[in-house]
Amino acid sequence: MKFRYDVVIVGAGLAGMRAAIAIAEKNEDVSVAMVSKTYPTRCHSVCAEGGTAAVFDKEDSLDLHAWDTVKGADFLADQDAVELFVSECPKEILTLDAWGCPWSRTEDGKIALRPFGGQSLNRTVFAKDRTGFHEVHTLYERILQYPNIEIFSEYFLTGLIVENDEIKGLTAIDIKTGELTLFEAKAVILATGGAGRLYGFTTYSHNVTGDGMAVAYRCGVPLKDMEFFQFHPTGLVPSGILMTEACRGEGGYLLNKDKERFMKRYAPEKMELAPRDVVARAMWKEMIEGRALEGEHGLYIALDLTHLGEKKIKARLPLIREAAINFAGIDPVEKPLPIKPVAHYTMGGIHVNKNCETDVKGLYATGEVACISIHGANRLGSNSTSECLVFGRIAGENALDFVLNKDFKLVKEDEFFEEERKIEEIFNKNGSESPYAIKKELNEVMDNYLWIFREESGMKKAVQKIKELKERYKDVKITDKSKSFNTDLIYTIEIGYMLDLAEAVAVCALFRKESRGAHYRLDYQKRDDVNWLKHSLAYKTADGVKVDYAPVTITKWEPVERKY
Amino acid sequence: MEVIFRIKRFDGGSSYWDEFKVPINMTVLEALFYIKENIDSTLAFRAFCRMGICGSCAIRINKKPMLACETQISKLEKETIELEPLKNFNVIKDLVTDFEGFFKKQKLAKPYLIRKSKGEIQQTPKQLEEYYKYTLCIKCGACVSACPVAKRCLGPAPVVAAHRFNRDSRDEGKEERLKALSDHIWHCHFVSDCSEVCPKNLHPAEVVQKVRLEVLKFNLGW
Amino acid sequence: MSLNTIAFYLHRITGVVLSLYLCMHFTFLTSLKTGDYERLVKASKEFFVLHLLLFLACIYHGVNGIRLVIHEFGYMYKYRKILLYLTFVITFVIWVLFCWKVIK
């Protein structure tokens, strides 16, 4: 099969849908295809809970939002991008309001705000604790109204077709029929989300495997800052389901086994509402030093919401309550929840500038798959959904400008056959290794050696182990030989993607000899601005990962010590 | 402790039952992954968020449409558990059904905010609560599976979506929506199984009756 | 099959049965000559049991119909389960009373 669209967007989450709408709003004649491996309402963005950051408070200012973001990022964020970002956030909130997003309100009918980690003032716009869910549905409903957006659900990205540093199209497997499909395009926007399933204990949906990152990486596009992986303090034990930061924003406490609010020792001013890296590290320390509670699923910390009262929990945190009851059998109204830090967000991603452009002409990346970089070494809670909206639109608009008055570059038959051959090769694999065993081991490696506290020896082991797993992956076995809905094949390709990404994460982490934001090394516990105030760029080469570095853009704020 | 999963398989040509032993202390979805990763990797099912909000994993568990991710096996209190794909959808493979038609039908009900006015929008918490409950539909298809007439009409889910916007104080398109619905809403016989199975307790059966009355009044010009 | 669905199919089936019966009934009535009481009495005796069952169908369809109308006009949604059980109970009670009266 072959399709031809002016712009092809891969991924139908918040960023992808926002990009599609941005194009369709401005131009009715440009054809847009939105290709994704799930239906739009099933994307991982629906799992975003707490809120979306934007300046609305009268005492708040754009500069303050930018400063909080930069400080939260441990000064690794590109400040020009951050300034652009914060100035666009409020507009996006109002746009979504006009499109029907059920934002929570104050008594006088205005959009309500709640406090979130690392922010100086209340800055998080929210829709109860289902913000991402409502935003996704609002955008999806909006998309139904544009005739020039075509949705291709359940198409799995397998490759980009690039010639002379210019994009020509992409290939994807139509999961329903199993056929490889060619999409010719003048511009491609990648919005496939993060790579959270690298980790075993994670908040991510099952299929968030970094497809876009891996595919671009294999085409020679560098990945930026992959060593920075966010660990969210409050993942429900044992499933890892996210208990939103809003739990603490609404007044919840973190308690150790002595019922002590231990955060007072780590962030006396902000307490539970310090940025996520600080809180996650504090919790991990409590756990290592024997002050955690112990249950049938191992160590945990208590997230106490009982003092908030039933009324507030039901009104502000209904999803949390529902999830806690369904998945841990505990009602937060009555008892504290068992939680521990959990892999949550990929700060790194495809290297793009603040216009979402990669080095390949016509190839854009936006949302979590991209590293723009506004999150630097640690993202602040509620900045990610804002990023998806703001930079989704920017990517869409830039792609639109790019495709106007441009012609299609024809994809040669050979190029398509080459992609087809690659997939055939995997499909016909009949080795002795189970892909799922490889994935399980990969998860263990990541959970053990690239977790919150890292050190040289562990990371070296991780690099070694990932290399071994990559070797073993070559001898993988695909049992399912049917065409239609062959998830065995899809999962196996995903695991291949993850192995590439894990290698980039491990190598970049090993090279960065300092502690910054989410990347904390026991052997280099201080931040080192002299040598390491720079972005890592990972390139895929025949002999493994090649790491290069790029400067950080600083406009207003020079790095200072980070205290909360 | 183990239980037996009897799963209705379909390989594109024929359908048959398959049995697997799985541990009891997990959710149905986790058990499906357990089977896929350890016993039979050809098993096909949909799964995504595993926290009951994406709507991917609705299947029939012991005949009742439910979300596999939210269902703890131990709570089913059965030694043999039957898993089948949703009814009223074409089966693609094993537990995977074709949702294209379901999403196409959504569109007919105009489930989006229609608003011509510009400028700042205000909405009080009270106005929000008027419709908020109905925003919670995750489009999982459980209601359609439970409905004996869904194949011939819109099915419950799109009507709930339309109702959500009809009650939204920001919306200005209620008449347009009622007009769009008036051709599609008369098949309901109040079987009300949709209300019994809805994982988000949205009571589609009640909503359909309410919307029908509204359409009726609108058409009669009352 | 849930009780809800059973109620739905019963409503359908009894509806079809009643309309078929009505057709037959009208055909039969129009075929009667004036004063043809004998045939009439004979027929009603021959089909006695069937008539009782027919009346059961008739009561169910009527009572269930009232239940549906109540719900369709937006009333008593909360009590839908009780109403459903009541439908079966009321149908049965009326039918037993009727049978008792006829047989006596």
Mean pLDDT over the full length of chain B: 95
d(CA C52, nearest CA chain B) in Å: 27
Q: For A15-44, b where at least 16 C-beta lie within 10 A, e where not — what string?
A: bbbbbbbbbbeebeebbbbbbbbbbbbbbb
CATH for B214: 1.10.1060.10
Strand order in the sheet with B2-10: B15-23, B2-10, B80-84, B58-61, B64-67
DSSP C79: G
CA–CA separation, A348 vs A535, rounded Å? 10
Going A54 to A58 to A59 to A64, the CA torsion angle's sign is positive
d(CA A193, nearest CA chain B) in Å: 14
DSSP A128: T
Residue A130 has what pLDDT?
Answer: 95
Q: Residue A248: helix, strand or coil by DSSP?
A: helix
Are B200 and B120 in a shared domain? yes
Contact between A339 and A277 (Cβ < 8 Å): no
C73 touches chain B (CB under 8 A): yes
Residue A105 has what pLDDT?
Answer: 96
Residue C72 has what pLDDT?
Answer: 94
What pLDDT, in 10s, does the model give residues B121-178? 999 999 999 999 999 999 999 999 999 999 989 999 999 999 999 999 999 999 999 9
Are B108 and B207 in a shared domain? yes
The answer to whether residue B222 scores a pLDDT higher than 90 is no
Contact between A282 and A266 (Cβ < 8 Å): yes
Are A398 and A489 in a shared domain? no
The answer to whether residue A84 scores a pLDDT higher than 90 is yes
Nearest CB to B193 within list C4, C71, C72: C4
Question: Angle A383-403/A131-143 helices, nearest 10 degrees?
Answer: 20
The answer to whether residue C89 scores a pLDDT higher than 90 is yes
Structure tokens at A298: 């191992």
Are B18 and B79 in a shared domain? yes
Q: What is the mean pLDDT of residues A282-293?
A: 95
- Active-site option among A248, A344, A472, A527: A248
The answer to whether residue C39 scores a pLDDT higher than 90 is no
Kindly state whether residue A516 falls inside one of the protein's structural domains.
yes
HEC readout, A482-526: CCCCCHHHHHHHHHHHHHHHHHHHHHHHHHCCCCECCEEECCCCC
Contact between A384 and A235 (Cβ < 8 Å): no
d(CA B77, nearest CA chain C) in Å: 19
Residue A264 has what pLDDT?
Answer: 95
The answer to whether residue A435 scores a pLDDT higher than 80 is yes
B25 touches chain A (CB under 8 A): no
Total domains in the fold of chain B: 2
DSSP secondary structure of A354-380: TT-B-SSBTEEE-GGGEE-SSSTTSPP
Are B109 and B211 in a shared domain? yes
What pLDDT, in 10s, does the model give residues A195-245? 999 999 999 999 999 999 999 999 999 999 999 999 999 999 999 999 999
d(CA B64, nearest CA chain A) in Å: 18
Distances A342 to A15, A45, A235, A241 between C-alpha atoms, Å? 23, 17, 5, 9
Nearest CB to A105 within list B93, B128, B168: B128
Final residue of a domain: which of B98, B126, B143?
B98
Are B84 and B119 in a shared domain? no
User: How do beta strands A534-541 and A223-224 pair?
Assistant: antiparallel
Final residue of a domain: which of B49, B69, B98?
B98
Total domains in the fold of chain C: 1
The answer to whether residue A111 scores a pLDDT higher than 90 is yes
Residue B160 has what pLDDT?
Answer: 96
The interface pTM score, or ipTM, of the predicted complex is: 0.97
Of A184, A186, A157, nearest in space to A411 by CA: A184
Residue A140 has what pLDDT?
Answer: 97
Are A390 and A434 in a shared domain? no
The answer to whether residue C40 scores a pLDDT higher than 90 is no
Nearest CB to A41 within list B100, B139, B171: B139
Are A222 and A238 in a shared domain? no
Residue A536 has what pLDDT?
Answer: 97
Q: Residue A59: helix, strand or coil by DSSP?
A: coil
What pLDDT, in 10s, does the model give residues A136-178? 999 999 999 999 999 999 999 999 999 999 999 999 999 999 9
What residue in B sits closest to A128 (Cα-Cα)?
A: B132
Residue contact B53–A107, C-beta within 8 A: no
Q: What is the mean pLDDT of residues B32-57?
A: 96
Of B41, B16, B126, B206, nearest in space to A104 by CA: B126
Output the pTM of the full model: 0.95
Q: What is the mean pLDDT of residues B5-25?
A: 96
Are B105 and B213 in a shared domain? yes
Total domains in the fold of chain A: 3
What pLDDT, in 10s, does the model give residues B107-132? 999 999 999 998 889 999 999 999 99
Residue contact B191–C7, C-beta within 8 A: yes
B151 touches chain A (CB under 8 A): no
Q: What is the mean pLDDT of residues A127-138?
A: 96
DSSP secondary structure of A164-209: TTEEEEEEEEETTTTEEEEEEEEEEEE-----GGGSSSBSS-TT--
Nearest CB to B122 within list A38, A110, A207: A110
B96 touches chain A (CB under 8 A): yes
Domain of B13? 2-98
% chain B with pLDDT above 70: 100
Contact between B140 and B67 (Cβ < 8 Å): yes
Final residue of a domain: which of B78, B98, B118?
B98
Interface test with B, best of A21, A38, A41 (most B CBs within 10 A): A41
What pLDDT, in 10s, does the model give residues B70-81? 999 999 999 999
C51 touches chain B (CB under 8 A): no
Q: Mark out the alpha helices in A245-293 (DSSP H runs).
A: 246-249, 276-288
What pLDDT, in 10s, does the model give residues A308-337? 999 999 999 999 999 999 999 999 999 999
% chain A with pLDDT above 70: 100
% chain C with pLDDT above 70: 100
Question: Angle B204-220/B156-166 helices, nearest 10 degrees?
Answer: 60
Are A195 and A277 in a shared domain? no
Distance between alpha carbon A125 and the CA centroid of its chain, in Å? 20
A232 catalytic? Reply is: yes
Are B88 and B105 in a shared domain? no
Mean pLDDT over the full length of chain A: 96
Q: What is the mean pLDDT of residues C73-79?
A: 94
Nearest CB to C80 within list B192, B212, B213: B192
Are B201 and B118 in a shared domain? yes
Domain of C71? 3-103
| Helix and strand counts by DSSP (H, E) for chain B | 9, 7
Residue contact C77–B212, C-beta within 8 A: no
Are B161 and B66 in a shared domain? no
Residue A208 has what pLDDT?
Answer: 95
Are A330 and A355 in a shared domain? no
Residue C32 has what pLDDT?
Answer: 81
The answer to whether residue C34 scores a pLDDT higher than 80 is no
What pLDDT, in 10s, does the model give residues A322-377? 999 999 999 999 999 999 999 999 999 999 999 999 999 999 999 999 999 999 99
Residue C47 has what pLDDT?
Answer: 86
The answer to whether residue C31 scores a pLDDT higher than 90 is no
A165 CB-contact burial (10 Å; exposed 0-12 / middle 13-18 / buried 19+) = middle
A248 catalytic? Reply is: yes
Residue B119 has what pLDDT?
Answer: 85
Domain of A28? 2-228+347-403
CATH for C73: 1.20.1300.10
C11 touches chain B (CB under 8 A): yes
Residue B61 forms beta bridges with which residues? B64, B83
pLDDT band at C43 (very low <50, low <70, confident <90, very high): confident
Identify residue C60 by its one-letter amino acid code: Y
User: How do beta strands A363-365 and A179-190 pair?
Assistant: parallel
- Active-site option among A130, A197, A232, A521: A232
Give me the residue label for tokens 């039933």.
A310
Are A366 and A503 in a shared domain? no
Are B20 and B85 in a shared domain? yes
Cβ neighbours of B157 in A, within 8 Å: none
d(CA B13, nearest CA chain A) in Å: 11
Are B43 and B17 in a shared domain? yes
CA–CA separation, A411 vs A185, rounded Å? 9
Are B120 and B214 in a shared domain? yes
